[in-house]
Structure 1
Amino acid sequence: MNIYVSGVNYKTTPLEIREKLRFSTEEQKSALYEISRLSSVNECVLLSTCNRTEVYIYSEDTSFDNSLIEKILCNIKGLNIYDFKKYFYVYSKTKAVKHLFKVASGLDSMVLGEDQILGQVKAAYELSLELGVSSGVLNTLFRDTITAAKKIKTNTGLSRNSVSVGSLAVKLLDDIYGQQLKDKCALVIGVGKIGSIVLKNLDSRGMRRIYATNRSHGKAEDLSKAYSSILPIDYNERYSVINKCDIVISSTSSPHYTITRDMLEKHIISKKKRVFIDLAVPRDFDEALGEMPDISCYNMDHLKTVADENMDRRIAEAAKAEQLIDGFVEDYEKWYAFRSVLPIVKDIQRYAEDVVSEKINYTTAKLKCASEEDKELVKATITNTVNEILNKLIYSVRENGSKDDMQAYFRCLRDAIKEN
């Protein structure tokens, strides 16, 4: 299979590098356009999240050079490929296919079994569809992957009591404050998917004062209607509100810092210990915040430790998911292999049509007493019967044999009809 993936993720790459290779939707479009222009690329999909950036490629070139992809990604982000090349991994063929199934199912996530990645995989695929840079091979792969991920979530306990980055952030606060968390005051900046999960989990801890802000004020207002503990504020009030808060959590897609050290120092009056948790990639908080007295800063990479502590109970379910994935990968490989024998299948079908047509014409010519209507009925019956038998045989070989056996069987049939 000429399927490849090049990428970086939280396993191979620290946050300060990942954030430089995080692509906005517009940047994804630019990258896909540049990649699709390569003569060796037939199809492409770009997945970019807070924990990974990966490009999936289908190429009819058996010696495809993945470094071309890495160069394009770095060029678009204004990075020197020689400084970043060491962080990229490359998978090909079955390993690349299995990697995508694991990614979409949450098996390759920092938070094992998390749900958000499936939506991100689907969005990446739909963007490539929209741009016309994905077709038969990757379309089938991504559709199969999305279907498989849903089945895995249904048939295993991997996503039961779902854990996400947002819930891990609140688990970190549990570890820091214990039972005292409910008496603390928090500010949540950004109320998208992650921010909403944070707010829901903070509210479930019984916190009575939770401020929420977003550049678009409506989202925070909506959440305040659902949870009485949430107080929406204007985005421009965030610094003054921090004076009242013990906890600040930010998860926006802003290209700029939501909190800087200079501005924070100008606004903070009350002196007390504060916890800042940055759930954004690129980061929302100025790195210099960690140098300020009484402030403890945490980011996405710190959450990996919390995730590892919660992993044990999911490992058994992950093993079940791996077994299911092996079956899905095998099915895709069979589909892919069947593509290579389609010309042979069509030759066999044409051969059968020619033989049947010849025999029917010979037989009906002798049925001098039969009406034309009866002759047509005989033709239709014999043709349909032969097609039904042939299709069943083709389907059986495709579904029940290994991909190598399937190719061998069809080649034997091709050789047999050539002899005739």
Structure 2
Amino acid sequence: MYNQFKSVSLSYKVAPLSIREQIALNEEGAKALMLRIREFFDVSDVLVVSTCNRTEIYYSASENLNEEFIKLLLIQKGITDVSYYQQYFEQFANGDEAVRHLFEVATGLLSQVVGDMQIPNQIKQSYQWSADMNMAGPFLHRLMHTIFFANKRVAQETSFRDGAASVSYSAVELVDTLTVNPKILVVGLGEIGTDVCRNLANKEGADITLVNRTRSKADALSTELGFRVADFEDIDIEIMRADVIVSSIVCDEPYFTKELMTKLGGLTFKYFIDLSVPRSVEPEVEEVPGVVLYNIDTIRSRADEALVRRMQAVPKVKAIIEESVAEFNDWSKEMIVSPTIQKLKNALEQIRQEEMARYMKGMTDAEAAKLERITSSMMQKIIKLPVLQLKAACKRGEAETLIDVLNDLFNLEKQPEEKH
């Protein structure tokens, strides 16, 4: 099964945002794709992951279906020019490469923001879909739980999760330090404003309102995240209502000025977080009583410090991944010999039962019980060495030869894998 694991990946490393957003899947789309895969292909261990930065399909199959899965995904998204879009996909047809890639994605090592905390949760969600749809077998179950344990080690043993390493993450992290259960107004829904909103989606107790010059963009994001939307024409009212205003408006001159804030009058505390370049909040707004301003340099400084700590932790994270992959490899290889071990146990148990039947006639219950203990103990000792040798052969990559020898010696092909 290990060598049958494969994947295809479309990510920010190869594909621009304009391509990624065309191919991204929501939950409904991901599940629909999984159902089509199950309907048309003989596969197992299917995992479909889709975020704003990547869309990936993992699966186990005896043949390489990467090209077919890319076509299936593109067709589902209504894209007919398959050959053009294929260039943006990375393909992993080797089990070791696919497993290692999933480890690196799930730990945040390959995230656009190194150490991204969102991706482990998104991987868990994708895995839950697979489990709910009965598309996760023993291989994927073991792989995912090994990854979850590796993530736990990363969090406990390194600084890879410390701080918010992107401007949008840092902005949301800053909000947490300013006030409790705030009313947040997000103005401007370009790439950074949208990222802020997606990070705010996990924030409990916040009342979030979106304002954008193009109302349709705010409505679309509101549908996705469940936030309130207001018209740009009503921004004065929304400023009065909000505790925190996050601005990423694209403009030549500051939109939020001292004059505007003075005109509104009677303000309680207002926190402005200006993520725009050029600035959209005039520095002089802080001269208005109750107004506090944080600009892009402040936020970026926080993000840079966190990123430095995370980058310093990368070698340790890679070491944890290597150890975890090696552990999973050992388990996966042992799975190859598991049927042979079970057949060998069944063959020896059959011999034991046949010989017991010959000698138990006329024995007392006590004598029969004693014979049962002796023969069972003998069988365990006899099988111990072949099992250890099989597992050792797995690690050396020589299991097939030993399996063939045991099959010939004990005629194991006629034995069932499990004894009922």
Superposition TM-score tier, normalisation by shorter sequence = 0.5 to 0.7
1:213 maps onto 2:214 in alignment: no
Indicate the percent of aligned positions where both proteins have the same amino acid: 23
AA of the residue aligned to 2:315: A
Question: C-alpha separation between the residues in 1 aligned to 2:364 and 2:317?
Answer: 62
Deviates more, 1:163-172 or 1:354-363: 163-172
Q: Point out where structure 2 has 5 or more consecutive residues left out of the alignment.
A: 176-182, 188-193, 212-226, 262-272, 282-298, 413-420
Corresponding residue number in structure 2 for 1:333: 329
Q: Which amino acid aligns with 1:350?
A: N
State the AA in 2 paired with 1:329: V
Cα pair 2:164 2:302 within 8 Å, conserved: no
Could you say what secondary structure the match of 1:132 adopts? coil
Q: Which residue of 1 aligns with 2:200?
A: 195
Contact 1:36 1:43 survives alignment (8 Å): no
Further displaced range: 239-248 or 344-353: 239-248
Q: 1:407–1:5: structure 2 CA closer, same or farther, 3 Å change rule?
A: same
How far apart are residue 334 of structure 1 and its match? Answer: 2.7
| Partner residue, 2:128 | 126
What stretches of structure 1 of length at least 5 have no aligned partner?
A: 174-184, 201-209, 216-232, 251-258, 278-289, 297-302
Matched, 1:402 2:395: yes
1:373 matched to 2:366? The reply is: yes
CA distance in 2, matches of 1:164, 1:112: 9
Query: 3-state SS of the aligned residue for 2:75?
Result: helix
Answer yes or no: is the 8 Å Cα contact 1:42–1:60 preserved in 2.
no
1:166-177 map, 5 Å: 166-168=168-170
Aligned residue for 1:17, secondary structure, equals helix
Cα offsets for 1:229-288 (capped at 9, x unmatched): xxxx952256522795996458xxxxxxxx999xxx9xxx969xx9667xxxxxxxxxxx
Moved more, 395-404 or 318-327: 395-404
- The total of aligned residue pairs comes to 342
Distance 2:140 2:84 in 1: 30
- Structure 2 partner of 1:177: none
The Cα shift of 1:94 comes to 0.3
Native 8 Å contact 1:158 1:314 kept in 2: yes
8 Å CA contact retained: 1:6, 1:91: yes
Deviation at 1:107, TM superposition (A): 0.9
In the TM superposition, what is the alpha-carbon distance from 1:167 to its structure 2 partner?
Answer: 2.2
2:82 equivalent in structure 1 = 81
Partner of residue 18 from structure 2, selected from 16, 19, 22: 16
What is residue 51 of structure 1 aligned with on the other side?
A: 53
Contact 1:23–1:48 (CA under 8 A) maintained in structure 2: yes
C-alpha spacing 1:19/1:395, structure 2 compared with 1 (3 Å): farther
TM-score (norm 1): 0.67
Q: How far is 1:161 from its partner?
A: 3.3
- Give the drift of 1:82: 2.5
CA contact (8 A) 2:106 2:120 kept: yes
Q: Deviations over 1:193-244 (max 9, x none)?
A: 61167999xxxxxxxxx983269xxxxxxxxxxxxxxxxx952256522795
Contact 1:7 1:54 in 2 (8 A): yes
Query: Residue 353 of structure 1: which of 349, 353, 375 is its match?
Result: 349
- In structure 2, relative to structure 1, the CA distance for the partners of 1:35 and 1:196 (3 Å cut) is closer
1:417 equivalent in alignment to 2:414: no
Match of 1:383 among 358, 364, 376: 376
Alpha carbons of 1:312 and 1:160: their partners in 2 closer, same or farther (altered >3 Å)? closer
How far apart, in 2, do the equivalents of 1:163 and 1:169 lie?
Answer: 10
Q: Is 1:344 aligned to 2:344, yes or no?
A: no
